[in-house]
Every structure is written in structure tokens, then in C-alpha cells.
Structure 1
Amino acid sequence: MGEMRVAVFGAGSWGTTFAKVLADAGTDVVLWARRREVSEAIEERRENPDYLPGVTLPERLVSTSDPRRALDGATDVVLAVPSQSLRHNLTAWRGLIDPSATLISLAKGVELGTLKRMSEVVVEVMGVAEQQVAVVTGPNLAKEIAAEQPTAAVVACVDHDRAVTVQQACTTGYFRPYTNTDVIGCELAGACKNVIALSCGMAAGLGFGDNTLATLITRGLAETARLGEVLGADPMTFSGLAGLGDLVATCSSPLSRNRSFGARLGRGESVAQAQAAAQGQVAEGVKSCSSIRALAMRHGVEMPITEVVHRVCHDGFDPREMAGELIGRKTKPER
């Protein structure tokens, strides 16, 4: 193993935060920003004013808007772009990436149309083996991690040794990653939790309290695990950091984009109004609810919360009329 050099593609809040984590862990890191003014602000002022104002970025972290410069000598490439634009972006960078580089996905979603998980998109576009692709997931609220509040995370890769290498590159006093070889379960949990968080936001916007929240989190986890089972995930993953851990953080926190988006819908705003209020921040669950619903239908799995979220976000249903359906389905045994 030579010296590790990581290129992080995507200077949004999570991409910037993860680049900071890598630098704090002693790893050399280049952060690629789509807009030149962002990379210049990072270089000159040591902060990302658009996404992480007030957070000082370490000297070891350099930034550029030139993909060639970012990838020069990179042994690992972190993909921190929104899930629905991953394929398009990666296709543009493909020729510049070292064919032996470890590709690390931070995106949480399922691609519309193909219904592929993000690691599957990476494998397809790059033509690499799945052993070369890792996923970082878990409770990843960027602003808290940027503030160096303690958190655990998961590095998932079917190649355990590669997962350990990535784990070592991003372990700091405040960021503690665990490894996992169940990439399917980790990715599915990360995508589904955004959809469940939208439902929790809707419930909060409708004025419901913590019993409702706990019900949605628990039943949301149950429907995620049902889908995971038919796709070959390890059921234990769903009670771990990538599953329950991420779900609780995203469903409970006002920092969660999906929860905030859902709350606006619950208060009676339209999807367009909620989107305008998000100011360019992507609520991944708004699109993922459709691909996850299609995946569930393909495999004959019932996902009632996902169904309601899809109908509110895409079929114009009013969350106030769907409230009973979110919580009150036909009575049956819990298991």
C-alpha cells in the first residue's frame, strides 16, 4: 500500500464534512467543488460559506473545481453528489479515475428508472468489481459531525480488508466508523430512512407528537427490513447503526432535510413550496420514495408508509387526509 490520497467529489454539507473528517484523521484530501467560487472560498478562507458557514476547515484539506487536479494521484475517490445525479457525474469523471482506486459512495438513494442502489450504479458506470466499492453510512447529520460532536458510522464493503483501510482513513476522536460487509442492507437502510423521515416530518407538521414518531420509526424499520430480506440483506443490519441508528437521527432531527421537508407538507405547503424553501438542498426521499416503492412492488413487498409518502409527494394527496392511513392500517399481529 502506497500513500493514501483521497479525492472527495461534491462540496455540499456532507461532502465537505467528510473531507474534514478525512483530513482530521491525517489523510491527504482534495475536495472538488462544482462551482469555482466555493473551492476558492475553501482555499482562501478555510470555510465553505454556502454549506458549513463558521466551520474552519483543516489545512490538510485542499480544494479545486478542476476534476483532473482533484484526481491527480488519488488512490480513493469519495462520491458525495446527490443520488439521482451520480450516474451522470461519474460518467463524466470515469476516464480520469485510476482503475484500481477504491470508490466510496456517500449518497443515500435508489436510482429512478433502473432501481439500482448507488454501489450498483458505480459498478455499472466504472466497470469495476463490487469489491472495489465502499459505502459510508450511519447517523450522518453533517452539521453535528462538522462541529466534532461524537458519532459512530459504518463503512460497508463486501471486501472486509478494503472496508478496514477506509475505516482507518476516517477514524478521528469524534468520528468512529465500524465495518460491515452487508452493502445491500446498509444502502437500502440509508435510502429508506429518508422516506420514513418524510413521513415523520409530515406527522410533526400535522401536530402529532412522540408516540406517532416512535410508531413511524418502528413500523418504517419493519417495512425496510421486509424489503431488505427479499433483496438478500442481513436482518441484523437493520438494528445497527446503518439501520436504526441513521433512522432515529434522520427522523428526529430538525437538521434533517427530509424531516424538515415533510414538516412543510404536513403544515399544508405544496411540494413546490417545500422545494423552494429547501434552497438547493436535496431532500433525497422525495425522489427515492418512487424508486423504493417500485422496488417493493417488483418484489411483492408491502411498504405502506412508503406508499403514503409517494402519494403525497407525487400524486397530490393531502397529508391531512392520509394521516389515518399512515398510522391506522388493518389490525394484525406485530410479527
Structure 2
Amino acid sequence: MSKELKFAVLGGGSWATAIVKMLTENQEKVGWYMRNTEAISHIENEKHNPNYLSSVEFHTEQLELTEDIDTVVSKADILIFAIPSAFLETELKKLSASLAHKVIFSAIKGIVPETGLIVGEHFHDTYNIPFENIGVITGPCHAEEVALERLSYLTIACADKDKAELVAQNLSSDYIKTKISDDIIGTEYAAMLKNIYALAAGIAHGLGYGDNFQSVLMSNAIREMGRYIKRVHKMKRNINNSAYLGDLLVTGYSVFSRNRMFGNMIGKGYTVKSAQMEMKMIAEGYYAAESAYKMKGKFKKKVKTPIIDAVHKVLYENGNAKKVFKELTHKLD
């Protein structure tokens, strides 16, 4: 595959902004779709996103900014989606340009609510995109640290090794190290599940649990993740690799983690609605908890998921966080 293929990023949030920054280290031009026309004007005039990672200054001659999704899709060869999963299908409904022959990489860490599928499966089933043209970009990596150019690591997964290597090369820099994987299903499920566990870590912190309990919670979380992913897609994988365990740890412990922040507010007594209004950002773990819980109910063989169950009970069943987590402490080892 040629290195001249054109990239475009779809989304206007912090992770989309970080990915555009990474790509501009290697590409002369990067397409960038966002629905916020005011943000586009601000970036064109002030050279930074006014709402997310505002410290990142862009050379605007490298950007092809547009609020027209058809324009960016028709011009680009490789599309990187970084739209929150809850809004992905709404944005795709605006699309009339064909996705046929496009290479699609998901930087979305969630489940599409309309279909209950991870993003890669959603594109495959709904838009007939072959799996060899679908990939995943996962961490451990926080957008805020990319903005600060702190050393960060990405895992690029795709069934087609050449496409994975191409995307990895174009995201790499002095401060971004990349590796590739063929576990497209497992890495994407891990990226979704770790948000639920980070939310659990936040709830525990908000309730006053300390580091000793958090270490037990994270230890149980990686094993629970391993059981869940194995039930979804059995293949040889090391669940302790950075795409799984590393991403879980950074999301569970980092001060930049919006899922931990959201959980912390719930633990401190905020309602779901008040926490969402206060944050003004999407915590993917909220939506993922419902989808993952429903999905496991469809497994032919049951899988033990006490942490997912506890988070779901608090968020969706009006469970008292203090009582639910006290019960959870007896289910962990």
C-alpha cells in the first residue's frame, strides 16, 4: 500500500483533536470533520480547538476542515472515527457518500446503542465493510498527554497487517510509540470494557475506598475482562499486554480519565444526570455498562462479571452505591 493515502478524522472532541495532531506530524494534509461550525471557524482563525486540548496549536494549512461529512468521506482513503459511540449512527445518517473501498479505523471506545455492537462489527454488519478494511486504535493513551507530547503508546489492530502498519507509521513520532495487533475484536472489546472498570474505580474512590481496595479491584477487573473477551472471541492473546491491562490501568488511575471522574461523582452522591451535566463530556463507560450487561445475557455460557454487574446496578437499577460496593467487596479476591 502507498504511503500517500489520505487520512481524515471524524469527530471534534479531545481524542479526535489528539489524533489530528499525531497525523499532522507525518501528513502534509489531514481531513477533519466536525459538526461544530463555530469550532471550525475558531481553529481556522486562532489555530486551536476552543473546546478540547486548546494548548495544541495547529498549522492550519495542514488541515482540511469541514462540517460536511460527505466531503471528508469522499476525499479520504483512510477514515478514523472518533465520534462518541452514542452519537455515531446519528452522524452516519447524514452520510450519502459511499463507504465502499474505504479503510475505516475506530478510535471509539464504546458500543453503538442502536445495534449493541462494537464499532468495527457495526460497520461490518450495517455498512458491509469487510473486516480486512476495519481497524482499531487503542491505548494506553490519554489525549491530554498527547497534547503535552508526553511519551505515549498506541496499539493498532487490523486483520490486514499492511493496513495496521500504515496507520501505525502515520501516528508514530518521537513521543508516540506504536505496535500492531491482529486481535481487532479483543482490543476493541477491551477498550470498551476498561471504561466500565474505570467507572467502578471512580465510584470506589468517591465512596472512600483506598489504594488497597483499588489494587484488588483492578486485579479482578483484568481477569473479568479476560473472561468476557474470551467468551466473545476466543483466540490466543495475552490479556496482560498494554492494549488490555495497560489501557485498563491508565483509565482506572489517571487524573485525566473522564470515566473515573464520572464514577467518582456517582460515589460522592451525584445522580447520573447531574454528573453528566457537571462533566460536559461523554463518559463512554456509562453507555458501555448497559450494553455489556445486556450482551452477556445473550452468551450461551454464563460468564462471571461481578464488577460489571455492580456498576450496572448503580447506574441503571437505582442501586445504592455504598450498599452495592459493600456487597462487591465480598465477591472479589
Q: Which bracket does the TM-score occupy, shorter chain normalised?
A: over 0.9
Name the structure 2 match of 1:77. 79
Return the offset for 1:97: 4.2
Return the offset for 1:27: 5.3
Name the structure 1 match of 2:23. 22
Matched pairs, number: 329
Q: Which residue of 303, 306, 311 corresponds with 1:304?
A: 306
| Distance in structure 2 (CA, Å) of the matches to 1:278 and 1:127 | 36
Instruction: Give yes or no for contact 1:74–1:98 (8 Å, CA) kept in 2.
Output: no
Name the structure 2 match of 1:37. 38
1:206-231 Cα shifts (integer Å, max 9, x gaps):
11111111111111111111011112
Name the structure 2 match of 1:283. 283
Amino acid across the alignment from 1:249 = V
| Distance in structure 2 (CA, Å) of the matches to 1:177 and 1:90 | 29
The TM-score normalised by the length of structure 1 is 0.93
Name the structure 1 match of 2:323. 321
Instruction: Give yes or no for contact 1:182–1:237 (8 Å, CA) kept in 2.
Output: no
Q: Any stretches of 5+ residues in structure 1 without a counterpart?
A: none
Are residues 274 and 45 of structure 1, via their aligned partners in 2, closer, same or farther at CA, if it must alter by over 3 Å?
same
Q: Any stretches of 5+ residues in structure 2 without a counterpart?
A: none
| Distance in structure 1 (CA, Å) of the matches to 2:325 and 2:164 | 41
Return the offset for 1:152: 0.7
1:65-93 Cα shifts (integer Å, max 9, x gaps):
12233234211111111112222322432
Name the structure 2 match of 1:161. 162
Return the offset for 1:238: 2.1
| Distance in structure 2 (CA, Å) of the matches to 1:42 and 1:266 | 37
Alignment map for 1:142-221 (pairs within 5 Å): 142-221=143-222
Among all aligned residue pairs of Structure 1 and Structure 2, give the percentage whose two residues are the same amino acid: 31
Name the structure 2 match of 1:136. 137
The TM-score normalised by the length of structure 2 is 0.94
Q: Does 1:295 align with 2:299?
A: no
Q: Which runs of 4+ in 1 moved over 4 A?
A: none
When the two chains are superposed, the root-mean-square deviation of aligned CA atoms in Å is 1.7
| Distance in structure 2 (CA, Å) of the matches to 1:235 and 1:290 | 28
Instruction: Give yes or no for contact 1:184–1:233 (8 Å, CA) kept in 2.
Output: no
Amino acid across the alignment from 1:77 = L
Secondary structure in 1 matching 2:94 = helix
Q: Which residue of 47, 66, 69 corresponds with 2:68?
A: 66
Return the offset for 1:115: 2.7
| Distance in structure 2 (CA, Å) of the matches to 1:278 and 1:264 | 9
